[in-house]
Amino acid sequence: MLDVNLLRNNINYVYKILKKRNFYLDINLINKLEQKRKIFQVKIEKLQIKKNQITKNISQHNIHNISEYKVIVININNQISKNKIILDNIKKSINKVYNLIPNLPLNDVPIGNNTKENKEISKWGKIIKHDFPIRDHLELGILNKGIDLEAGVNLSGSKFFVLKGLIAYLHRILIQFMLNIHINNHNYKEIYVPYIVKKQALYGTGQLPKFSKDLFHIKSFKSSNIEDYFLIPTAEVPLTNLVYNKIIKEKELPIKLVAHSPCFRSEVGSYGKYNKGLIRTHQFDKVELVQLVKPEYSIKALEQITENAETILKLLNLPYRKVLLCTGDMSFSSSKTYDLEVWFPSKNKYYEISSCSNMGDFQARRIKARYKRIKDNKISFIHTLNGSGLAIGRTLAAIMENYQLKNGEIKIPKVLRPYMQGLKYIR
């Protein structure tokens, strides 16, 4: 969430910046709620001062009718309790409003409404001109008996899939390959995380309360209580929440974490000819990168985490482009985001394969993740960053399409062959 003091003391500035995201802050509502909060806080403070003075006089025997004043103290306590209940309700109303306010974009983020206004930063790799009719990855997967959508539908419903044989093997190897690069070359620490989390974890990273419909909910029946849990939409959620309500020593920063996990998303409204096969599914695997850093380092860390993801694409020799998202296309919690988009020959276009974001202190405020500065022992919020390094299903699909041969076989990238016991083709 945003700094509450910023909202209270400079709300017009916040309104102006959020307008770039097409988010219009209800200033009147916020001012009204904050005014109510102040009124009742002052009431409680005055009652507390009055009570303290009477209590002090009683203890010092400065008054004669002690029993009478004890009754007064009881009445004051009742008034304080009643006003605290009202104040708590006002604060809950304020929090509901504040929890729905997105992060402020950084100054260099282009202003825009949608993907058309994103800014292309660079392109890498040579797009191969095939001299034969191009098959998409789904056709190639069926031809090589490696993708079984029908089995996925029978088991779990639409937008689920089953991988078999060498395609499943390549999928598994991609996970191992990416983890090895990020751990050994980029110095990330490997973490294994739960795939089911509590509501608080999703609130902390910004998926709740606004994006509840995008999540898979789970009901757990423990004794007579029904508890809400969620399948993770990304390993970013558990990784970031590892520092929930913690104060980290400055010397421990930066913290660089990597995890492989399945990800679960409802993908509402994602049906269509461009989302077939492995492009958009309810369950997919991803290698996730998370960095926890000091505030002054987060701008540089975003460039680093993006370069780390780019390294995988370069090693696989997959053509891609780097795009800076405009204000209208960024995620709720992000202050700046780069998307990496890989080339899909069958669609003659680039598709997102990684999204790398600087969240600033937005998530840290929600999860109370702080660090203690060495120079003055001051407690400050850390900055959090995350990026896909990469999405496994889309990487697999991109390899299948970019490395396809005329006869329908798929050439295995050279860098992956040692992982696959020297295998050169999927036949």
Q: What is the pLDDT of residues 330-369, one digit of tens each?
A: 999 999 999 999 999 999 999 999 999 999 999 999 999 9
This model's pTM is above 0.85? yes
261 three-class SS? strand
Nearest to 235 by CA among 276, 287, 186: 287
Query: In sequence order, which ranges of 104-235 are alpha helices (DSSP H)?
Result: 137-143, 149-156, 165-180, 199-205
Q: How far is CA 128 from CA 1, 121, 397, 401, in A?
A: 45, 21, 16, 10
* pLDDT the model gives residue 277: 82
* pLDDT at residue 195, rounded to an integer: 97
pLDDT of residue 303: 98
pLDDT confidence of residue 224: 61
The pLDDT score that the predictor gives to residue 55 is 79
Could you report the per-residue pLDDT of 373-418, keeping only the tens digit for each? 999 999 999 999 999 999 999 999 999 999 999 999 999 999 999 9
pLDDT score, position 144: 94
Question: How much of the chain, in percent, has pLDDT values that exceed 70?
Answer: 95
SS (H, E, C) 81-124: HHHHHHHHHHHHHHHHHHCCCCCCCCCCCCCCCCHHHCEEEEEE
pLDDT of residue 269 exceeding 80, the answer is: no
Which residues, in sequence order, are CB contacts of 119 under 8 Å at separation 6+? 110, 323, 324, 326
Mean pLDDT of 201-227: 85
Pairwise CA distance, residues 378 & 320, whole Å: 43
The predicted model gives 88-113 an average pLDDT of: 96
pLDDT at 274 over 60: no
Q: Is 219 a residue whose pLDDT tops 90?
A: no
Please write the tens of the pLDDT for every residue from 18-34: 999 999 999 999 999 99
Neighbour count for residue 215 (Cβ, 10 Å): 20
Q: What are phi and psi of 111, to 5 degrees?
A: -85, 130
Average pLDDT over every residue of 284-292: 98
Instruction: Give the pLDDT band (50/70/90) at residue 139.
Output: very high
| CA distance between the termini of the chain | 51
Instruction: Map tokens 């020799």 to a residue.
Output: 317
Q: What pLDDT sits at residue 271?
A: 53
User: DSSP letters of 175-188?
Assistant: HHHHHHIIIIIT-P
Percentage above 90 pLDDT, the chain? 85
* pLDDT the model gives residue 273: 57
| Short-list 351, 349, 358, CA closest to 385 | 358
Q: Is the pLDDT of residue 177 over 90?
A: yes
The mean per-residue pLDDT over the stretch 111-118 comes to 94
1: its two tokens? 């969430």
Alpha-helical (H) ranges within 269-353 are 298-315
Please report the pLDDT score of residue 73 as a whole number: 85
Instruction: Give the H/E segment covering residue 293.
Output: strand 283-293
